[in-house]
Amino acid sequence: MQITTVDSLLEYEIAQTAHFIFHIEAAFHEGHRVLEERLTITPSMKVRHFSDDRSGNRFVRLDAPRGILSINYHAKVEINPLPEQLNLPECPVSNLPDEVLRYLMPSRYCESDSLSRAAQQMFGQLPTGVQRVTAINDWMQTAIEYLPGYNDGHTSAQEVFVQRAGVSRDFAHLGIALCRALNIPARLVVGYVKFAAPPQDFHAVYEAWLDQQWVVFDPTQKASIDKLVRVGTGRDTKDVAFATAFGNVQLLQKTLRIDEAEQSLNTIGQTDAAS
């Protein structure tokens, strides 16, 4: 059984009372079981929790007073094995579930409409199914350079397609846009996973709708997605930003510690009982 332990710390300087929406807790999601979790906000203040019943995304809203705000999330999560990615067919548009259709549409950072012809030209003739999505990811591996700091946070899939560099969010946005342009519903997934090389950071991957289910892909291949603690899913980064601040604030620190362990079922059981 895969257990991932997360400790994330965000620290801000607040110039005057600011409203925050944090999205840093493990999602309500059938793919994992939260064994323990703890959210610590300093200074202590009233917060409002809410979750989106469609996605299972969880949010914390608060009004931070002038001064220093720190928010720490600790969780220990048991992650279910991912299904095998073999022989997964695409689903004809006419069979897509109604609630999945929204993930076919272009969004702010995934302009599948603009990239429609490029996607068709590059991947339209390939065998359909999971191997087509894999072909998109393989192409990104060779064509797009993983280059932290190259783009700012406003870079969209179309720009990544031209600029050929980015971080995990950019790779995922481009993968999503290309899938949607091929009539494969796709959505962004953000979460915690250990990178092979530091520094640790929030990670973004994406899911494509294949064989009547969401199947996750990491086009950066920087981490083991079977150990990813899912925080949220959305149309693109704007649905699942880790923090959205309204007001004059400055991020002072972002520190993530992520431990991954494989444990026997027995141990899990005990932990579970204790939590």
**What residues line the site for its own copies (CB under 8 A)?**
19, 21, 48, 50, 59, 61, 63, 92-94, 98, 101-102, 105-108, 111, 113-115, 117-118, 121-122, 142-143, 145, 154, 158, 161-165, 183, 238-239, 246
Instruction: Tell me whether residue 86 or residue 162 sits nearer to its own copies (CB atom).
Output: 162
Instruction: Tell me whether residue 4 or residue 166 sits nearer to its own copies (CB atom).
Output: 166
Chain centre distance of CA 122: 26
Q: Cα separation of 9 and 209, whole Å?
A: 33
Chain centre distance of CA 252: 23
> Measured from the CB of residue 82, what is the shortest distance to its own copies in angstroms?
29
**Cβ contact 146:174 at 8 Å:** no
Instruction: Tell me whether residue 94 or residue 266 sits nearer to its own copies (CB atom).
Output: 94
> Measured from the CB of residue 126, what is the shortest distance to its own copies in angstroms?
15
DSSP 125: T
> Measured from the CB of residue 120, what is the shortest distance to its own copies in angstroms?
8
Q: Give the HSE-up count for residue 211: Cα atoms under 13 Å, Cβ half-sphere.
A: 13
Instruction: Tell me whether residue 183 or residue 263 sits nearer to its own copies (CB atom).
Output: 183
> Measured from the CB of residue 188, what is the shortest distance to its own copies in angstroms?
13
Instruction: Tell me whether residue 144 or residue 258 sits nearer to its own copies (CB atom).
Output: 144
> Measured from the CB of residue 247, what is the shortest distance to its own copies in angstroms?
9
Phi, psi of 100 (to 5 degrees): -90, -20
**Cβ contact 247:225 at 8 Å:** no
Query: Rounded to the nearest 5 degrees, what angle is found at the Cα of 96, between the Cα atoms of 236 and 104?
Result: 25
Identify which of 131, 25, 48 has the alpha carbon closest to the alpha carbon of residue 87: 131
> Measured from the CB of residue 68, what is the shortest distance to its own copies in angstroms?
19
Instruction: Tell me whether residue 170 or residue 260 sits nearer to its own copies (CB atom).
Output: 170
Which structure tokens are listed for 203? 């990670």
**Cβ contact 180:150 at 8 Å:** no
